[in-house]
Amino acid sequence: MKKSQKSKVKSQKYNLKLKIICFCFIVFPFSFFLFPFCYAQTAVSSTELIERAKELNGQEVLYEGELIGEVMTRGEYSWLNLNDGQNAIGIWAGNNFLNLISFAGDYNHKGDWLQVKGVFSRACQVHGSDLDIHAQSINLIRRGRAVRHKLVPLKPRQAIILSGVFLCLLIGRLLSRKLKKK
């Protein structure tokens, strides 16, 4: 009895091992096949785009950055310039994406942080060989905001002190002129 039980357990263990091996053999190749579909594409930086421009030319890339300056509309498309903190890259996007945009970055605004999926060109044939991305999709990652600049309190104080020094000098200059005339 004991022997038969032992052999049963053994065969069960053997079957389990076999199942795991089979699972591995089936699932791993399948997972490799699924990889391109499941893989969450990571964004490339502007420096990477510039440094690896030849390699990435014509490929679909994911790029994100802050919208800076101004949206420049040209017919049915617009130019957006996105700065990722290293460089700004020009994005050629359809006007249908413009409703996502609220703020463009400048002195008074922090621009919207946008993620763009599109085709990268080292020397775009459509746009006079500019290095750019033709957007296929755009996502808003973070909405921008208006920036309020607080006055640094030290600056008015410094200006007052300097004004005092300047006035003293001016009086000195006037006095020296009067003395010379006498």
Partner 1 sequence: MVLKPNLEDLKAIGYYLGKIIIGLGLTMLIPLVWAFIFAEFNPLYDFLIGFLICLILGNALILTCKTDKDLNWVGGMVVVSSSWLAAAVLGAIPFYLSGHWVSFLDCVFDSMSGFATTGLVLVQDLDHIARSVNLWRHLIMFIGGQGVVVVALSFLVRGSAGAFRMYVGEARDEKVLPNVVETARFIWLVSIVYLILGTFALAVVGRYEGMSWANAFFHGACVFMAAFDTGGFAPQSQNILYYHSLAYEVITIVIMILGSLNFKLHYTLWLRRKKEIVTNIETRTFFMTIMLTFFLTAVGLAKLGVYPDALGMFRKGFYHLISGHTGTGYQTIYARQFINEWGALALFSLTIAMALGGCVCSTTGGIKMLRIGVVFKALYNDIKRVMLPEAGVFIEKYHHIKDVVMEGNQVRSAVLIFLCYLGLYALGGVIGMFFGYPALDSLFESTSAAANVGLTCGITQVAMPALLKVVYILQMWIGRLEFMSVFVLIGFFAAFVRGK
Q: Which of residues 114-173 bind partner 1 (CB under 8 A)?
A: 122-123, 125, 127-132, 149, 151-152, 155-156, 158-159, 162-163, 165-166, 169-170, 172-173
Q: 73: part of which helix (H) or strand (E)?
A: strand 60-74
Q: Residue 178, interface with partner 1 (CB under 8 A)?
A: no
CB of 21 to partner 1, least distance (A): 49
Stretch that binds partner 1, among 16-24, 65-73, 112-120, 137-145 (CB under 8 A): 65-73
- Measured distance CA(58)–CA(121) in Å, rounded: 5
Task: Please calculate the CA angle 70-92-84 and round it to the nearest 5 degrees.
Answer: 65
Q: Residue 54, interface with partner 1 (CB under 8 A)?
A: yes
Contact 103, 146 (CB under 8 A): yes
- Measured distance CA(167)–CA(182) in Å, rounded: 23
CA nearest to 135, candidates 86, 71, 69, 50:
71
- Residue given tokens 């890339």 in the structure block: 61
Stretch that binds partner 1, among 15-23, 28-36, 67-75, 138-146 (CB under 8 A): 67-75
Residue ranges in contact with partner 1 by CB under 8 A: 50-51, 53-54, 68-74, 78-79, 81, 83, 87-88, 90, 105-107, 110, 122-123, 125, 127-132, 149, 151-152, 155-156, 158-159, 162-163, 165-166, 169-170, 172-173, 176
